[in-house]
């Protein structure tokens, strides 16, 4: 199992050597993992890259990418891409150079992947996790981006801590499916965006509580500086785009439902015109809609989590079971409703149950049971 630790650096000459030592020291306790380190440095004026080159002479498995100063997001996109495509990592673990996230915690994250999770996020916002030493400004900043934007605007609910760098990500079937080349984040909005992209692959997430400490040496690069406004604007933009992308999938699902409804009506009418018993006709019509919904949802609405190959048939059976649930919901609503209100209300009740009960129910069931991560 090959782990690539990705460390973005900008003026971290006093931290990076200690960080390399710390990762290898912890790694040694787990011979079943092969640890390599990839540093992405933006030609730091303090000469961080020189320190890295000295360590490359001391240890094998240290790689260095250097480029012009472009921001944390760009550095991470480059690092992730290199770790997947060139270094062929099985797991990537991004972390900061400054020891705010304790590198000795990385085995806790990797063990979660061994248990079957795909993304294990070090978190300050689950029981047992916390932050030491933030001032009110830093805290306000974090709350706005993390709660207001990431949770409410973008609607990324897979985790509670969206802003940190430290996490373990499975490459096979997960990170390899993320179109990193399309990601354009310059600043820290990358952290939210990558979580969203990972969620689209159907990844299973878990949060691991950790304590976020104060910096060991040097100064933070994120805060009130000339990039601050650019990064905040990018974060807001990114949150809105994520929300729109999510609604697009819901919109497609509604269109698929309408097509299914039309198919059901047409098949039923044709069969009835051929003097087939209406009960039988409607059953065939419903199955026609179910087949159309399954195919269109698989190749369009949920194409990012497409079901392929031999699993297809059993998923189709499950899909039929979920659809039976939808039929039952409509039957019960219309049955109970007309009992109290009178038969004249059947159509309103049916439409009501479709919009308020069936649509949310099946969207949830599809995401939860049908188009979920293949394990």
Residues contributing to the site for ligand GDD (CB under 6 A): 8-10, 12, 40-42, 69, 71-72, 75, 96-98, 100, 163-165, 188, 191, 220-222
Q: Identify residues 46-105 at the interface with Mn ion (CB under 5 A).
A: 96, 98, 100
192 interface partner picked from ligand GDD, Mn ion, none, CB below 5 to 8 A per type: none
- Contact status: 234 vs Mn ion (CB under 5 A): no
Interstrand relation of 62-66 and 167-170 (parallel, antiparallel or unpaired): unpaired
36 interface partner picked from Mn ion, ligand GDD, none, CB below 5 to 8 A per type: none
Of 196, 197, 220, nearest to 96 by C-alpha is 220
The binding track of 98-117 with respect to Mn ion, each residue x by CB under 5 A or -, is x-x-----------------
Q: Which is nearer to ligand GDD, 79 or 260 (CB)?
A: 79
Token reading at 194? 């990558």
Token reading at 367? 């995401």
Q: Identify residues 26-45 at the interface with Mn ion (CB under 5 A).
A: none
Q: Which is nearer to ligand GDD, 9 or 323 (CB)?
A: 9
Do residues 236 and 188 make contact, with C-beta atoms less than 8 angstroms apart?
A: no
Of 3, 8, 200, nearest to 95 by C-alpha is 8
List of residues 6+ apart from 372 with CB closer than 8 A: 202, 305
Q: In which residue are the tokens 């692959």 written? A: 201
Q: Which is nearer to ligand GDD, 100 or 298 (CB)?
A: 100
41 interface partner picked from ligand GDD, Mn ion, none, CB below 5 to 8 A per type: ligand GDD
| Half-sphere exposure of residue 198: CA atoms within 13 angstroms, side-chain side | 29
C-alpha 149/C-alpha 191 separation (Å) is: 12
42 interface partner picked from ligand GDD, Mn ion, none, CB below 5 to 8 A per type: ligand GDD
Do residues 358 and 326 make contact, with C-beta atoms less than 8 angstroms apart?
A: yes
163 interface partner picked from ligand GDD, Mn ion, none, CB below 5 to 8 A per type: ligand GDD
What is the contact surface with Mn ion in residues (CB under 5 A)? 96, 98, 100
């Amino acid at each position: 199992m090959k782990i690539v630790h990705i460390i973005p650096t900008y003026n971290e000459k006093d931290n990076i050597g200690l960080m390399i030592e710390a990762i290898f020291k912890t790694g040694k306790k787990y011979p079943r993992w092969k640890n390599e380190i990839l540093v992405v440095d933006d030609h730091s004026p303090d000469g961080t890259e020189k320190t890295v080159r000295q360590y490359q002479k001391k240890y094998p498995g240290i790689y260095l990418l250097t480029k012009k100063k472009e921001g944390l997001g760009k550095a991470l996109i480059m690092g992730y891409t290199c770790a997947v495509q060139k270094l062929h990592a099985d797991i990537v673990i991004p972390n900061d150079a400054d020891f705010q996230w304790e590198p000795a915690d990385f085995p806790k994250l990797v063990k979660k992947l061994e248990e079957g999770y795909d993304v294990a996020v070090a978190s300050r916002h689950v029981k047992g996790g916390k932050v030491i030493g933030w001032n009110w400004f830093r805290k306000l900043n974090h709350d706005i981006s993390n709660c207001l934007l990431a949770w409410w605007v973008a609607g990324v609910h897979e985790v509670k801590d969206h802003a940190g760098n430290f996490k373990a990500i499975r490459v096979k079937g997960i990170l390899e499916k993320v179109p990193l080349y399309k990601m354009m984040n310059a600043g820290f909005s990358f952290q939210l965006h990558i979580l969203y992209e990972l969620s689209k692959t159907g990844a299973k997430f878990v949060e691991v509580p950790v304590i976020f400490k104060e910096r060991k040496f040097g100064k933070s690069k994120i805060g009130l500086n000339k990039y601050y406004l650019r990064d905040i604007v990018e974060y807001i933009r990114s949150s809105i785009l994520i929300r729109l992308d999510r609604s697009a999938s819901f919109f497609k699902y509604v269109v698929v439902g309408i097509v299914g409804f039309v198919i059901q009506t047409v098949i039923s009418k044709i069969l009835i015109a051929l003097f087939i018993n209406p009960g039988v006709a409607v059953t065939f019509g419903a199955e026609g809609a179910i087949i159309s919904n399954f195919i269109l949802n698989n190749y369009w609405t949920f194409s990012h989590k497409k079901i392929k190959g031999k699993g297809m048939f059993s998923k189709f059976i499950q899909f039929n079971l979920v659809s039976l649930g939808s039929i039952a919901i409509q039957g019960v609503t219309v049955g109970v409703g007309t009992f109290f209100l009178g038969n004249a209300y059947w159509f309103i009740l049916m439409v009501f149950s479709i919009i308020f009960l069936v649509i949310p129910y099946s969207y949830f069931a599809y995401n939860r049971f049908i188009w979920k991560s293949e394990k």
